[in-house]
A and B are shown apart, each in its own frame.
Chain A
Amino acid sequence: MKCQKCEKPATFHITDLTGKEGLLELHLCPDCAKQYLQTGESEQETPKISGVLSSQLKLEQTAEDLKELDGKECPICGISFYEFRQAGRLGCPHDYVFFGEELEPLLLNVHNGSEHVGKQPKRGVRDTESQTELIRLRREMKEAVQEENYERAQELRDRIRSIEGEGRSNE
């Protein structure tokens, strides 16, 4: 069998399930297949989320609202809504609370449900505040190091260690 895009023999037999037109069968030589797969690969999962998200936002928000929303930053990890929208990845557990209102329609769209009904941690969800506090302190420490404020970084490291120590002695 010849490659569908050139004259070389086809050794890749590809069934593409992700195309807009539905299913696509391709028979390609190694070179054409490589090209096809590399360009196809970058369009995975991530844009799908931002796609769902942006269509949702267009319906509900004006351009100005969206601009304001994009600038919203999580106080714990510092990720902006714009960065999440671009990357399709959140920055920390607190984002689910902080961007909760924006995430809920997205979750509904992807999962057709927005309430967890499965398994729960056995130990119970305790003390989430000190957990997010740790994430915030870790971020502040990074910033202090970047600003070469080592005294502050040292201070923050000690606080992180003391909170971690408390957590451990509770176990």
Chain B
Amino acid sequence: MVIDELHDRCGEWLKGDGPQSDIVMSSRIRLARNLADFPFIRRCNDIDKANIESTVRERLSQEDAFTTLNFFNVAKLNSLDRQLLVERQLISRELSNGDGSRAVAIDSRERLSLMVNEEDHLRIQVMKSGLNLDGAWEQINKLDDDIESRLTYAFHPKFGYLTACPTNAGTGIRVSVLVHLPALAITHQIEKVFRSLQKINLVVRGLYGEGTQAMGDFYQISNQVTLGKSEREIIDQVADVIPYVIDYERKARQYLLDEKQNDLFDRVSRAYGTLQTAQQISSEETMYLLSRVRMGVNLELIDNLEIPHINQLFLRTQPAHLQKICEQTLDTDQRNVERANYLRLQLKRDDTDAQAN
């Protein structure tokens, strides 16, 4: 697999299937692990990092489960390719912007990503479409065992898996569910939901993790505590609360349908109309409008669009994806024009299809 094959694929988290996929985009679990015989990243020089990378690569190549993975040397990728991987949530911004030897291993279905030399030596991540934390845990737990059979992890009987930042020590687990909550945003109830989530020690972040804004009404709900609770308890803590969040969003959508129908139809059709006709459009405005259109499709207000198609538009209108599609480097202004061209083409084609039917 080469990077250029990625951008026109769909990726696991945008497939738009799996349980509750009208509201839950994806379920993700990551484990932070460190090798016992190397210092943490902060005290590593380039030689240490290169040694860690080659050790991981060499040892895992002996394990059947990993022979089908594609290893990318992130340090050697150009910034556009790195950005593409960030947009697909296969690597973090920290790994993309880091320095020295670092890598990522990805399976062809983009369900698994194994980052080497991020904040910790290893960051193992499994993604599933829709609400499927049990499936994600089953897969990542097995992977972790497979890796552990080849590499010695830094582990302490009392403090558990040892991580560079004490906030991740213990299980090293982050359980995270990506939800789309446009109706709660429109009805200004989202703050209330977040406040109650914070009270039970859950964290809410934007689409691209720490420090990113809530783009396109997408929110990641994840655990904060990693020590003193078992993986199962932590997963359940997140899993137990998601049905309530889904229920609130559904109620807000129903309220908009029952009480604010004109307002809702207006928001959705203006968003759709703008995306179909704009001559230049930023990635942020695109996310904002696609979010409304996505809700419109879920509520059957728009009937000639499919959810997976909209999910793909969210990704393909991001800067790196757009430049890959256009096969050239574009500055912000050029991207805004090309993005509008792409959206007009994508959304118009659906129109003519619908009319032809």
Chain A residue with the shortest CB-CB distance to B204: A17
| Residue tally, chain A, CB below 8 Å to B | 60
Could you mark each residue 39-77 of chain B with 1 if its beta carbon is under 8 Å from any beta carbon of chain A, else 0?
111110101100000000000000000000000000000
How distant is B91 from chain A, measured CB to nearest CB, in Å? 18
CB distance from B335 to the nearest CB of A (A): 12
Closest beta carbon of chain A to B201's beta carbon, Å: 8
Q: How many residues of B contact A (CB 8 A)?
A: 63
Expressed in whole angstroms, the Cα–Cα distance for A139 and B153 within the complex equals 19
Flag if A135 contacts B149 (CB, 8 Å). Answer: no
In-complex Cβ contact of B45 among A91, A110, A113, A142 (8 A) = A142
The yes or no answer to B134 lying at the interface (CB within 8 A) is no
The reply on B191 being an interface residue by CB < 8 A is yes
Tell me if B170 counts as interface (CB < 8 A to partner A): yes
**Among A33, A45, A116, A123, which residue has its beta carbon within 8 angstroms of that of B228?**
A116
Also in contact, A14 and B155, with CB within 8 A (given A49-B166, A87-B42): no
- A-binding segment of B5-13, B210-218, B300-308: B210-218
Residues B204 and A96 in contact, CB atoms below 8 Å apart: no
Contact residues in B for A40 (Cβ distance below 8 Å)? 211
Residues of chain A in range 74-120 having any CB-CB distance to chain B below 8 Å: 76-79, 87-93, 95-97, 103, 106-107, 110-120
Beta-carbon contacts of B216-244 to A below 8 Å, as 1s and 0s?
A: 00000000111111110000000000000
**Which residues in chain B, 183-201, are within 8 Å of chain A measured between CB atoms?**
185, 190-191, 194-195, 198, 201
Interface on B for A, CB 8 Å cutoff? 34, 36-43, 45, 47-48, 119, 141, 144-145, 148-149, 152-162, 164-167, 169-171, 173, 185, 190-191, 194-195, 198, 201, 204-205, 210-214, 224-231, 282, 284-285, 288
Query: What are 12 A-B residue pairs whose CB atoms fall within 8 Å in the complex?
Result: A30-B282, A77-B43, A89-B41, A103-B166, A107-B169, A111-B170, A112-B225, A112-B228, A116-B171, A118-B160, A119-B231, A138-B48
